[in-house]
Structure 1
Amino acid sequence: MTPGGAGVRRPDHPTRTTAPAHAPGITGVSAGTVLGPYLRTQAADFLRSLRLHRENTAPTDAGSRAADQAATALRRSSRRIGSALRTFRTALDPLWAEQLRTELTWLSGTLAREHAYADRLARLLEALHGLSGDPVLPAARTSGDSADKSRPVLGVGAARAGALLERQLTLARTRAHSAALQALGSARFHAVADAVALLASEVPLAPAATGPARELLGEPADRAEQRLLGAVAALPPDEAAEPYNEARDAPWHQARLLLRLHRYAHEVVHGAPDPVLAAPVHALDLHRDAAEAAGAAATAARTPRIAPATAYALGVLHADQRHEVEAARAVFRASWPYATTGAARP
């Protein structure tokens, strides 16, 4: 890396508390010695979470808090296993790794939808509550009589907009809950659970896994990091920001996925996540949540035959969430611990 280029730590951020990928911790040991225990641990967590989910899931409603927590843990284990299978596939049986990774992606996505709809509704209702009591609207910053006239209109529309969003997103959540229960009872899921149960006892390693971990694990982890750094460097700069251009969201969502792969690869190689990435991870999660909430507000605004006041409130809500998208991007840039090229620096 050249000084000041992508991948160089910014001076206002702490240096890595763990050693680089080719550290002595994975020197002199085989890839299987490192990767095997990690995958077995994640598989055991998956099975434990599955048992708790079955014990606490209600068939007729959205389930209990314990069931929600178990589903979150189940998704977390699924993501970690799937990411390891993707990043370190050269150390594993390739056909088995690809098949299980695909199925875990399906499972994690299916379980995530119910939680996502619930969080989206809570976020939008909270934003509506704040906007209806805000004397200055984000979509039309005015003063005097015009602002005073806007407030009661938003107040009436906000209540109707909230009711509409609650109907739409509660229905979507109920359907997602039913789909998750159906998936967990399917033959497809039982095949996944059986595969993970086998993984908890024996990892299907490739013959090459007897080779050095610094090559078979360290080098793929480095490549995952370089893909992330390249994606972040290619993000549109601040001066090109277009708050209402949803097409600009895609590179940020891709950076979030690559950041996840990098974090999990770091866990495998070093035994723990890189602590300086916690803030950027949180910022990109907020970015995703705000973008999806804005999309839900826009979808609700396209509902046929809604009152003008309702449509107006939904438009203000959409604008508010798009500004939250921009705010999350600013937080990410400020917290990103590497110097980047092509992105504005704080």
Structure 2
Amino acid sequence: MAQQHLDPTDPMAKAVTGEALAGYLRAQATEFLRALRLHRETGSATANGAEESVDAARALRHSARRISGSLHTFRPLLDATWSEEMRPELAWLSGTLGLEHACESRLERLLLALHRLSGSTAVPAQSVPAALVVDPAAGSRAAGAARAGGGGAPARAKPGVGAAPENSGGPAGRTVSPERGNLTVGAAKAGALLDRQLTLARTRAHSTALQALGSSRFHAVADKVAVLASEVPLTPAAPTTGLRPLAAAAEERLTDAVAVLPLITAGHPYNAQALVHGLSPDPSPHPQDGPWHQVRLLLRLHRYAREVLCEGDAPVDVRLLAAGQALNRHRDASEAAAAAAQAARTPRIAPATAYALGVLHADQRHEVEAARFAFQQAWQKQTVSTP
């Protein structure tokens, strides 16, 4: 058999040992500390300070996820006790810091969908983000308005969601039928209900994040990351041990998880099974979603392992990028559908509101199916060959 030689110009082909893992972890720990310092410096009430604080919190999440993912994939090369203590704390921090952003994105997604489904006059593209900005302090005001008004009219007007009055003409003088008018009113009240619920959830998530960043638990995590920036607890054999077998194992776990997905069903643009549990009173996540969420996490671990092998400079794999984007859309749509279903369970809401929320739930479940179809199309393309 002819001997195969690795291409020295290929960043994914050169020999990589535990020293590269140590360098990667030190770099991510440094990014974590830099983001933490920026977050503390920009914690002001000004608009620029708030925007920079959001960016710093996002950088904190990214670094925490990369450190935690690398500890998981390459745990045989790290001190076992330290690694097992560190990983859940980083996961807690990343999850806590991500809740506020998740609530904001979910509300924006649902309001845009309501606007699209209601058939009201389109809002100019450049004005959509400003119309959907949610004031973190608005949760208490919205809740107070809801208590005062009995949960009827919106606490504050939402441009683009049910903007036209019930008896008004549509765009370009189009006459609005009674059914369309009722749907518009239902969409407006559904948007107000979602606004109240998700703004309140975002406000609580913001408070939880601030409490977490000031807690002794977070300070303990930050202290460990500070130590990691200068000293990585590798095992004695790690500096001379290759990383490729462990990275290949992470890729194999991803491949095995994808193999059990119903890609044949996802290959059809419409999957009626997506709505089988749509009327279930059980608020638990949709039973079809779990394996897809797991694939998304495994894909992230595979990407981080590639970064370690390339010492933070991994070449762009278009196939993995497209697959990851599809899985992110899947996660966002499934969580938005769950939020719509949760809002529909609110007691004593008007029938038009419940109907609009039902249409919104079905729309987001079809978005889930579209994301699965996009993942199937991306994943079944030719695999990028790596050693």
Shared fold by TM > 0.5? yes
Q: Secondary structure at the match of 2:288?
A: helix
The yes-or-no answer on 1:233 pairing with 2:259 is yes
Among candidates 244, 247, 252, match of residue 221 of structure 1: 247
Q: Which residue of 1 aligns with 2:23?
A: 37
Alpha carbons of structure 1 residues 18 and 247: separation in structure 2 relative to 1, 3 Å: farther
Q: Secondary structure at the match of 1:126?
A: helix
Alpha carbons of structure 1 residues 312 and 279: separation in structure 2 relative to 1, 3 Å: same
Q: Which residue of 2 aligns with 1:257?
A: 297
Q: Which residue of 2 aligns with 1:319?
A: 362
Q: Which residue of 2 aligns with 1:75?
A: 61
Distance, in Å, in 1 between the alignment partners of 2:265 and 2:92 is 37
Among candidates 330, 333, 346, match of residue 290 of structure 1: 333
Q: Which residue of 2 aligns with 1:24?
A: 14
Greater CA radius of gyration, 1 or 2? Answer: 2
Alpha carbons of structure 1 residues 24 and 337: separation in structure 2 relative to 1, 3 Å: farther
**How many residue pairs are counted as aligned between the two chains?**
303
Q: Which residue of 1 aligns with 2:133?
A: none
Map 1:71-150 to 2 at 5 A: 71-133=57-119, 148-150=177-179
Q: Is the 8 A contact 1:114 1:176 kept in 2?
A: yes
Among candidates 25, 43, 51, match of residue 57 of structure 1: 43
CA deviations 1:156-176 (Å, max 9, x no partner) are 000000000000000000000
Distance, in Å, in 1 between the alignment partners of 2:183 and 2:43 is 39
CA deviations 1:274-293 (Å, max 9, x no partner) are 42211111110010000000
**Structure 1 residue 335 displacement after superposition:** 1.1
RMSD, matched Cα: 2.2
The yes-or-no answer on 1:243 pairing with 2:274 is yes
Which runs of 5 or more structure 1 residues have no equivalent in the other structure? 1-16, 136-146, 341-346
**Structure 1 residue 56 displacement after superposition:** 2.0
Q: Is the 8 A contact 1:157 1:310 kept in 2?
A: yes
Distance, in Å, in 2 between the alignment partners of 1:97 and 1:59 is 37
Distance, in Å, in 1 between the alignment partners of 2:201 and 2:366 is 25
CA deviations 1:49-80 (Å, max 9, x no partner) are 1111122235899x811111111111000000
Q: Is the 8 A contact 2:120 2:184 kept in 1?
A: no
Q: Is the 8 A contact 1:59 1:181 kept in 2?
A: no
**Structure 1 residue 338 displacement after superposition:** 5.4
CA deviations 1:69-98 (Å, max 9, x no partner) are 111111000000000111101111111011
Distance, in Å, in 1 between the alignment partners of 2:260 and 2:254 is 10
Distance, in Å, in 2 between the alignment partners of 1:302 and 1:24 is 56
Alpha carbons of structure 1 residues 50 and 83: separation in structure 2 relative to 1, 3 Å: same
Q: Secondary structure at the match of 1:243?
A: helix
Q: TM-score, normalised by structure 1?
A: 0.83
CA deviations 1:134-185 (Å, max 9, x no partner) are 79xxxxxxxxxxx954321210000000000000000000000000000000
Fraction of identical pairs, as percent: 61
Q: Is the 8 A contact 1:43 1:197 kept in 2?
A: yes
Q: Which residue of 2 aligns with 1:3?
A: none
Distance, in Å, in 2 between the alignment partners of 1:190 and 1:168 is 31
The amino acid that maps onto 1:97 is S
Alpha carbons of structure 1 residues 106 and 163: separation in structure 2 relative to 1, 3 Å: same
Q: Is the 8 A contact 1:18 1:270 kept in 2?
A: no
Q: Which residue of 1 aligns with 2:350?
A: 307
The amino acid that maps onto 1:129 is H
Q: TM-score, normalised by structure 2?
A: 0.74
CA deviations 1:173-219 (Å, max 9, x no partner) are 00000000000000000000000000001111111213232xxx111
